[in-house]
């Protein structure tokens, strides 16, 4: 018997995902047509012996989350429950706090997945590796180039046994090109080191003069408090994957993740990809169109386009490398490239909404998505264009490399600006 735990964080996290996270919790943001964490749940549901999927975070359980959980339970015929933390407890604190629920029923092992990763989730391969050689912690690892590896948790492994000899979270100098994917398989005994960290935190807190200081004893950082401390002690092992993997930290990385998932649909969910039909719009490459969307036959869509529920696309619309969220309207002959159009937004006739992609270097197989900040030397860096919810763009204007916050009605063109 197996379980899975998905760490979804909370509203204080995901600030780089604004303005999109204003309307919907980041884990429910649609990537390739379905909520981000549905990809995780689909992968977990396919593992034989999976009994329960738990979501851990400190979001208030609102209507959107409740509806998603109910729909997921029906679709996958599995219990999918949300356990709300009383405060932000870090990547390991929630696992220790809810240890009784995780270990209820006596699972042989449990998967732990970060919500903000895009992957093909080789969970069955990880389970096989775990059953061949049982250890408390098994980490999924992949490779990155020397410069970008500094932005991730770096793993030094024994190439013969795959034991993790050394682990450093976001090192200041190059340590290894093997990075942590944020996908793990833990044995029940993996919770013992978490208990040790919790007890140590409690003792440290009692010694401090101000017992109310933060972080609290319940806050446990898996990467720094557990992996770094236990590396080289025969408890942590790594399973390397060559499959797709990317972090989803910013809106630009959501667009890139959408491309990865859409291309993967050819193998996993061909029914989700739009087909070119007589009298229908021209489809180029991988495109997802929600069944309720109204698309004019002269529209040209793709590659890497995802169109949400109730979207209206007028005659002659051109869409490429973009996500159009539900209820948006693109009037006749609009052109949208490398952009995300928010819920219920309207783009006027002959308007052009365009961004600059920040994709990994296609000539470097180890290149990863850069999660850089929006600004450099006080200037806004060129990036994808984001229209927040219910933004109105007038006819015949250009919106280039800009971020428009929700409920704005523009009257002219904008370039390289954040419109508050």
Q: What is the pLDDT of residue 374?
A: 67
In contact, 420 and 405? CB cutoff 8 Å: yes
Check whether residue 43 and residue 118 sit in a common domain.
yes
Chain-centroid distance of CA 100 in Å reads 27
- Same domain, yes or no: 199 and 313: no
Cα 24 to the center of its chain, rounded Å: 14
- C-alpha distances (whole Å) from 297 to each of 41, 285, 314, 315, 316 are 35, 17, 9, 7, 8
**Cis, bond preceding 25 (omega within 30 deg of 0):** no
Distance, CA of 354 to CA of 341 (rounded, Å): 11
**What is the Cβ-side half-sphere exposure of residue 362, based on CA atoms within 13 angstroms?**
3
Rounded-to-integer distance, Cα 175 and Cα 166, Å: 9
- Whether 266 is in a domain gets the answer no
199 and 282 share one domain: no
Domain count within the chain: 2
Q: What is the DSSP string of 244-288?
A: -EEE--SHHHHHHHHHHHHHHHHHH-GGGS----TTS-EE-SSEE
Residue 292 falls within a domain, yes or no? yes
Tokens of 10: 């909370």
Locate 410 and state its tokens: 């523009």
- Residue 220, number of CB atoms within 10 A of its CB: 26
User: Given this model, what pLDDT does residue 213 score?
Assistant: 47
For 85, 100, 184, 238, the CA distances from 195, given in Å and listed in that order, are: 17, 13, 18, 22
Is the residue at 270 inside a domain?
no
pLDDT of amino acid 333: 97
Residue 56 lies in a domain: yes
Whether 103 is in a domain gets the answer yes
Q: What angle do CA 83, 62, 65 make, to 5 degrees?
A: 65
Residue 254 within any structural domain of the chain: no
Q: Measured over all CA atoms, what is the biggest interatomic distance in the chain, rounded to whole angstroms? A: 74
Q: How far apart, in whole angstroms, are the C-alpha atoms of residue 315 and residue 328?
A: 15
Q: Is residue 259 part of a domain?
A: no
Using CA atoms, how far residue 254 sits from 174, 222, 257, 259, in Å, is 27, 25, 5, 9
290: containing domain? 275-415
Q: Could you tell me if residue 196 is inside a domain? A: yes
Give the pLDDT confidence score for residue 373 in this predicted structure.
Answer: 64
- The radius of gyration of the chain from alpha carbons, rounded to an integer in Å, stands at 22
Of the three residues 194, 228, 247, the one that is the final residue of a domain is 247
Tens-place pLDDT, residues 135-174: 999 999 999 988 888 888 999 999 999 999 999 999 999 9
93 and 14 together in one domain: yes
Same domain, 237 and 285: no
Contact 387, 410 (CB under 8 A): no
- Domain co-membership, 152 together with 288: no
**What do you get for the CA distance between the two ends of the chain, in Å?**
50
CATH number at residue 172: 3.90.550.10
Residues 327 and 241 in one domain: no
Domain shared by 94 and 165, yes or no: yes
Please give the helix or strand (H or E) that residue 331 lies within, else none.
Answer: none
Task: From first to last of the 420 residues of the chain, give the pLDDT tens digit.
Answer: 999 999 998 876 556 788 888 888 889 999 999 999 999 999 999 999 999 999 999 988 888 899 999 999 999 999 999 999 888 888 888 898 999 999 999 999 999 999 999 999 999 999 999 998 889 999 999 999 888 888 889 999 999 999 999 999 999 999 999 999 999 999 999 889 888 888 888 887 676 655 554 456 678 888 888 889 888 898 999 999 999 999 898 888 899 999 999 999 999 999 999 998 888 899 999 999 999 999 999 999 989 999 999 999 999 999 999 999 999 999 999 999 999 999 999 999 999 999 998 777 777 777 776 665 666 666 677 789 999 999 999 999 999 999 999 999 999 999 999 898
Single out the residue of 202, 318, 249, 224 nearest to residue 15, CA to CA.
249
Rama region for 176: left / alpha / beta (φ>0; ψ in -120 to 50; rest): beta
91 and 139 fall within a common domain: yes
Same domain, 236 and 337: no
Query: Is residue 296 located within the same domain as residue 199?
Result: no
Alpha-carbon distance of 420 to 364, in angstroms, equals 37
- The helix (run of H) or strand (run of E) holding residue 356 is none
Q: Are residues 393 and 349 in the same domain?
A: yes
Q: What is the CATH number of the domain that holds 330?
A: 2.160.10.10
């Amino acid at each position: 018997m197996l379980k899975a735990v998905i760490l979804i964080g909370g509203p204080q996290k995901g600030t780089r995902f604004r303005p999109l996270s204003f309307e919907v919790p980041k884990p429910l943001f649609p990537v390739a047509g379905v909520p981000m964490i549905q990809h995780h749940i689909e992968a977990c549901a396919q593992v034989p012996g999976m009994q329960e999927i738990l979501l851990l975070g400190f979001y208030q359980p609102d209507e959107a989350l409740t509806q998603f959980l109910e729909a997921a339970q029906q679709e996958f015929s599995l219990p999918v429950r949300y356990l709300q933390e009383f405060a932000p407890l870090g990547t390991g604190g929630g696992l220790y706090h809810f240890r009784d629920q995780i270990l209820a029923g006596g699972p042989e092992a449990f998967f732990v997945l970060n919500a903000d990763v895009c992957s093909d989730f080789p969970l069955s391969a990880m389970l096989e590796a775990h059953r061949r050689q049982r250890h408390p912690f098994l980490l999924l690892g992949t490779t990155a180039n020397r410069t970008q590896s500094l932005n991730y948790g770096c793993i030094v492994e024994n190439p013969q046994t795959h034991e993790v000899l050394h682990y450093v979270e976001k090192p200041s100098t190059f340590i290894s090109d093997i990075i942590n994917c944020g996908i793990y398989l833990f044995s029940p005994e993996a919770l013992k080191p978490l208990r040790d960290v919790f007890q140590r935190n409690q003792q440290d807190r009692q010694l401090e003069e101000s017992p109310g200081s933060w972080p609290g004893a319940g806050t446990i950082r898996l990467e720094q408090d557990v992996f770094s401390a236990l590396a080289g002690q025969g408890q942590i092992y790594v399973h390397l994957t060559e499959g797709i993997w990317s972090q989803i930290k910013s809106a630009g990385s959501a667009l890139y993740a959408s491309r990865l998932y859409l291309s993967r649909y050819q193998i996993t969910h061909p029914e989700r990809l739009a087909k070119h039909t007589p009298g229908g719009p021209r489809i180029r490459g991988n495109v997802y169109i929600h069944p309720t969307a109204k698309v004019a036959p002269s529209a040209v869509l793709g590659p890497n386009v995802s169109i949400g529920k109730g979207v209206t696309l007028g005659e002659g619309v051109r869409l490429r490398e973009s996500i159009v969220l539900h209820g948006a309207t693109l009037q006749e002959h609009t052109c949208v490239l490398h952009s995300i159009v928010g819920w219920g937004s309207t783009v006027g006739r002959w308007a052009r909404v365009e961004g600059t992609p920040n994709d990994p270097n296609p000539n470097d197989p180890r290149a990863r998505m850069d999660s850089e900040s929006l600004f450099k030397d006080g200037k806004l860096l060129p990036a994808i264009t984001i229209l927040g919810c219910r933004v109105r763009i007038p006819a015949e204007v250009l919106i280039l490399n800009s971020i428009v916050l929700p409920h704005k009605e523009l009257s002219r063109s904008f370039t390289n600006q954040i419109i508050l």
